[in-house]
Amino acid sequence: MRNKTAKIIISLVGAFILVGGLAAGVILVQRSQDIRRQAAPATSLFFVPATQNKSPGDSFSAEVSMDTGENKVTGVDIKLKFDPSALEIVSMTKGAGIAVFDQIIANTFSNSLGTVSFIAFTLDRTKAVQGSGLSVLNISAKVKENANPAAYQISFEGGTAVAGVGEGQNVLINSTSGRINVAGGGTPTATPTATPTATPTSTPTSAPNTGGGGATPTPIPTSTPTPTPVLSQPLPESGVSFPFILSVGLGAAALLGSLFILIF
């Protein structure tokens, strides 16, 4: 009788431990899923103002802004591309929206290559930023004196990322380029085409009996860079799902029931 009672007590204790462990596992999985949902790709980067009309020699300012969505952001990795034949960066400063990011490991630009790299972050998750219209990077630039009339983009390059609280993944979902219209430039995708003049404008230099005539100089068309905005891809969700945990729990409960039947 005592042996049977002891077996029952042991079985009940084991049941409580099993159920408690299962409940704890379910709670942890749900919390992990909540964190992943909070750090889902839903953050955007864009320029303010989106479009500016300038003339050759003009100076201008552009701001990279961020809408975090539901995410809390702890770092940014901004990579930009511009046409160095028309635009020139003068200086860059960290935006007020990420003033709490105390680590800056890149703040460089190249006017010969037409590139910008800016990386800032914080290791303190309590300093994570959240909101819309957050200033990330302030850029002072100018249009070169010899810039051709056209529309020039300052575009986000591949590798641009935003780190969200949770698993540290990239939560950037899209990025929108800025545009500088120089002296009535067209759309970013248009390429100016020069049309040759039909009437000769030069004086013939050949002897009259050769029948030669002056040729009309043909202008060389200039191309406009048309980089495509980069869209960051959502990261796949990883981890153990709740249905899997539930099925394992039901199986364990069925096994425990079978043990009770055998004992009694």
Q: How far apart are CA 257 and CA 148, in angstroms?
A: 82
User: Whose CA is closest to 66, among 138, 3, 12?
Assistant: 138
Which of 148, 182, 216 marks a domain boundary? Answer: 182
64 and 159 belong to one structural domain: yes
162 in a structural domain:
yes
pLDDT at 223: 41
11 and 66 belong to one structural domain: no
111 and 80 belong to one structural domain: yes
175 and 65 belong to one structural domain: yes
pLDDT at 251: 56
pLDDT at 2: 58
Q: How far apart are CA 258 and CA 42, in angstroms?
A: 48
Handedness of CA 13, 18, 21, 22 (dihedral sign): negative
59 and 166 belong to one structural domain: yes
Rounded to 10 degrees, what is the CA torsion of 77, 38, 165, 233? -30
Rounded to 5 degrees, φ, ψ at 242 are -65, -45
SS3 234: coil
112 and 28 belong to one structural domain: no
pLDDT at 256: 59
Find where tokens 């200086």 sit.
91
Domain that holds residue 9: 2-36+240-263
Per-residue pLDDT of the chain (264 residues; tens, 9 = 90+): 556 665 666 665 555 565 555 454 444 445 544 444 445 789 999 999 999 999 999 999 999 999 999 999 999 999 999 999 999 999 999 999 999 999 999 999 999 999 999 999 999 999 999 999 999 999 999 999 999 999 999 999 999 999 998 756 899 999 999 999 998 644 444 444 444 444 444 444 444 444 444 444 444 444 444 333 333 333 333 344 444 455 546 556 655 555 555 455
pLDDT at 222: 41
257 in a structural domain:
yes
Looking at the structure of the chain, the number of domains it has is 2
Which two three-digit tokens encode residue 50? Answer: 């989106």
Q: What is the CATH number of the domain that holds 63?
A: 2.60.40.680
207 in a structural domain:
no
Residues in CB range of 44: below 8 A, 6 or more apart: 66, 67, 69, 172, 173, 174, 175, 176
Which of 134, 159, 182 marks a domain boundary? Answer: 182
Strands 103-110 and 59-67 come out as unpaired
Q: How far apart are CA 17 and CA 193, in angstroms?
A: 78
Helix (H) or strand (E) holding 171: none
Residues in the chain: 264
112 in a structural domain:
yes
Inter-residue contact 103 to 122 (CB < 8 Å): yes
99 and 23 belong to one structural domain: no
64 and 145 belong to one structural domain: yes
50 and 175 belong to one structural domain: yes
Find where tokens 């630039």 sit.
141
176 and 46 belong to one structural domain: yes
